[in-house]
Structure 1
Amino acid sequence: MSQSRPAEQGRRGGIRALWALASLLAGGCAVREAARPVGVERARYLMGTILTATAEAPDSTQAARVLAHSLDEIARLENVMSSWRKDSELSRLNRAAGSAFRCSQDLYAVLDSALAIARATSGAFDPTVEPLDRIWDLRGKGRVPSPREIAVARSRVAWSRLTLDPTRHMARLATPGMGVDLGGIGKGFALDRAARLLAAEGIERALLNLGGEVLALSPKGRPWPIAVAHPNDRLRPAVRIAIAQGAVSTSGQGVRGVTVRGKHLGHILDPSSGRPLDTQATVTVVAPSATRADGLSTALLVMGRERALALARRHQEIGVLWIEPDHGLLRAWKWNLSAIAEPGVAIRWMN
């Protein structure tokens, strides 16, 4: 899922007013209230979206302290991975394209994870799509580039030309003009790091929702109910799932993006065509880690339903939910997970 513009000061002031809405639905996933009282709830504007967090512990003071530390960790990682911030470590890597760049442990780790998902999806997820982001101006008002611009940008998109040296912690983009965008994996990576901190400090049950990327901790098996939004209305729950331990990520083109000449351009680009995906479908991935769920939800939408099914069959450890509008109704496919329609939502289950 793509990374959003950093928060403006005025928008930060609206967090309290948005808390109830963000807790219900955020970018594709909705978090319902837990069945039993929670210790601490917090919200903060991070990575261009609202993070809502719930943590339970015997001592609410401890829960509040550890939760604050975990949110600080996400803020720190934003300074590493953001492609919006010119002073971020990732932006420095992009400016050094064509030369070797010494990475921090954090940047090296997320690049390594991104390349692993690129390999597993044959490039449907490609962290080097930044040149395409640039020509479509998906971070600004949007524009439709010429065929020649698309061809030139596509020539600079190739995950195999981003190489890592594990001995020296170096990364190298092969040629000037290449660039990395971690928007399709960064939120998940940050959630995994935050969850590691929570667990290390004794928090056994927690739920973090970062703009629709959801991570759940509940080792004793009490599941968290999660609602997946309608493809055409992010504020309307469509399908309900439940997880105790793991992560949920939903990707779709229906809400985020820009409008150019009356046409909506979604934020997810197809690396092979160099153009925004033209689809109304959404895909939700349930995986052991948020990093993997985040990257795979983007990749599977690019791959399409049949290839997504093939990948799910090969990887029984991940669950996949595919939803697409169909003349006012919804069609849905589910693999390796349990899911039910929300009350009042008409869904035709296809498998």
Structure 2
Amino acid sequence: MGSVFEITLVDKDTVSTNKNIDLVITEVMRIENLISEWNPETQISEVNSNAGIKPIKVDLEVFNLTKRAIYYSQLSGGAFDVSTAAMDRIWKFDGSMTTMPEETAVKKSVENVGYQNIVLDSLNTTIYLAKPGMKIGFGSIGKGYAADRGRSLMQAAGIQGGIVNASGDLSTWGQQPNGKPWTIGINNPFRSHKIVRILKMRESAVATSGSYEKYAEINGRHYSHIINPKTGYPSTGLTSVTIYGPTAEFANFLSTSLMVLGEKEGLKLLKQFPVYRGLLITDKGKVLSHKFR
């Protein structure tokens, strides 16, 4: 999934721990082999290669994940869009981009983006991309989904506590061996090695989206790698969004959406989901808390 997974378990001995870690790794790989748009053998790759041609039958798991992704796209008014995989990559975030792309190129980059053109058939569990050139991908919520699945798998196996961490998007359950909750620090992107907030977690999840590690600097202005699916331009206003709540998948969706929506509209969206909390850091370094004490 293009991410480093780190698995922590509270288990009875090393042999059992290693066996269970392998089970989580197997589960993550199984999910990747269903939903990766980079592997040409996956069901999602088959859906993408048949855009504008025909519906493709998929596993119920893939169908339901896609259905939820469309729902998230609707909830956010398109700030999150599962079809951004089709976006032309005209922005470079490796330090090589020093001038703005042409406006016409930016407009063209989003021509094949639009979750409204994804057709689901629940009776036959098929996915059809109605517009040629469309693609769907799970770069935003796939890691969170895999972390949640790893947690569920270990809970079903009777493991009392642990963390499945997908490059900072993580699911936790239970507690540490000393009986204390898991503690997760949220970094301040403007102050190196400084922690903004420490979360105490039992059965919960956290996801962070940010522009502080991957961005372009053009004419003295900072451009996020998180692109607005409707405009083709990088999101502005927020440098980091951390969402804390029951599932990493939904937290992933919210953190990505808030980065695109910005402070005002983003908080409106977040307030619709009372079980989720948010910590937003603006481009000017201001820290905004929603339901954090």
The match for 2:63 is: 108
The match for 2:129 is: 173
The match for 2:269 is: 311
SS in 2 for 1:83: coil
Q: Does 1:197 pair with 2:167? A: no
Q: Note the 1:86-101 alignment, pairs <5 A.
A: 86-98=40-52, 99-101=54-56
More strand by share: 1
| Residues 1:90 and 1:135: Cα distance change in structure 2 (over 3 Å) | farther
The match for 2:36 is: 82
Q: Count residues in correspondence.
A: 289
Contact 1:132 1:150 in 2 (8 A): no
Q: Does 1:213 pair with 2:213? A: no
**TM-score, normalised on structure 1?**
0.74
| Residues 1:157 and 1:199: Cα distance change in structure 2 (over 3 Å) | same
Query: 1:42-69: CA deviations, max 9, x gaps?
Result: xxxxx22221111002344323211210
Q: Does 1:266 pair with 2:224? A: yes
| Residues 1:301 and 1:206: Cα distance change in structure 2 (over 3 Å) | same
SS in 2 for 1:292: helix
* 1:243 pairs with one of 201, 221, 229: 201
For 2:142 and 2:85, the matched residues in 1 are separated by 14
Q: Does 1:70 pair with 2:24? A: yes
Contact 2:224 2:235 in 1 (8 A): yes
For 1:233 and 1:86, the matched residues in 2 are separated by 41
Query: 1:119-174: CA deviations, max 9, x gaps?
Result: 22121110111222544467997796533333233232111211211111101111
**TM-score, normalised on structure 2?**
0.88
Task: Give the gaps of 5 or more residues in structure 1.
Answer: 1-46, 339-351
Query: 1:268-291: CA deviations, max 9, x gaps?
Result: 110121122234521111121111
Alpha-carbon shift at residue 222 of structure 1 (Å)? 4.2
Q: Does 1:51 pair with 2:15? A: no
| Residues 1:163 and 1:126: Cα distance change in structure 2 (over 3 Å) | same
Task: Give the gaps of 5 or more residues in structure 2.
Answer: none
Query: 1:216-270: CA deviations, max 9, x gaps?
Result: 1127984211111122467543322222111100101111256789976533110
RMSD over aligned CA atoms reads 2.7
Percent identity, aligned pairs only, is 27
For 1:119 and 1:225, the matched residues in 2 are separated by 33
For 1:270 and 1:250, the matched residues in 2 are separated by 17
